[in-house]
Amino acid sequence: MKSVMVRSLEQSERQWATDLIRNSWGSANIVTRGRVIETTKLPGFVAVNNDRPVGLLTYAIAGGECEIITMNSLQEGTGVGTEMISAMKSRAKKEGCKRLWLITTNDNMGALRFYQKRGFRLVNLYKNSMDEARRIKPEIPLFGFNGIPVRDEIELEMMFNDELEFEMLL
C-alpha cells in the first residue's frame, strides 16, 4: 500500500465525514458519558491514500485535554489508524494538552487492543452507562461486536509523561 497521508479535515469534506459517521455510529451525534456531541462541528483528521479518504478521526480539545470522539479506518490493519493517532498526538501536544483520552464500549475488543498497543491505558469503567446513553440515543444497539451485550463504557488515556516512559520501554 502506498503511504497514507493524514491532514486536517477540510470544510469541503464535511458531508463525507458526516455520512461516514452516520453509517458507522447510527447518527452524526455521539453520546458518551451522558453528553451528546455533535460531530459535524468538530475538528478532525482525514487519512488519504491515492487521493481517496480512507480514515477519519474527530476530536475535541478543552481544559488541557484532548478527547478522541470518533475514529474510523476504512482499511483496517494497514496503518491508517496508527497514522491518525500520531497526527492527533502531535496536535494535542502543539495545543499544550497533557492528556489524550477516549471512550469506547465493552464490546469493542478491536479498539481496546488497538489503543493499548499504542500506549493508551485503561483508566475507568463506567458500569451500565449504556442504559443512560440509550435513553438519549435509542438507536444504540443492545448487542455489538461478536454478539457481546453493549453495557459499559471504558475510558482509555495517554498522559504524555506516560508516553515517554512507554516509548523508552520499546
pLDDT tens readout for residues 23-46: 998 899 999 998 999 999 999 999
Hey, CA dihedral for 34, 39, 41, 42, is it positive or negative?
A: positive
Whole-number Cα distances in Å, 13 to 40, 47, 48, 91, 106? 11, 12, 12, 20, 31
Give me the percent of the chain exceeding a pLDDT of 90: 84
Q: What is the rounded CA–CA span in Å between residue 107 and residue 89?
A: 25
pLDDT of residue 2: 56
Whole-number Cα distances in Å, 18 to 34, 42, 86? 21, 11, 23
- Tens of pLDDT, residue by residue over 119-131, are 999 999 999 999 9
- Tens of pLDDT, residue by residue over 94-117, are 999 999 999 999 999 999 999 999
For residues 32, 24, 76, 121, the Cα torsion angle rounded to the nearest 10 degrees is 0
Specify the CATH number of the domain 5-169.
3.40.630.30
Domain ranges for the chain: 5-169
Q: What is the rounded CA–CA span in Å between residue 99 and residue 62?
A: 10
Say whether pLDDT at 141 is over 90. Answer: yes
Q: Which of 22, 54, 53 is nearest to 38 (CA)?
A: 22
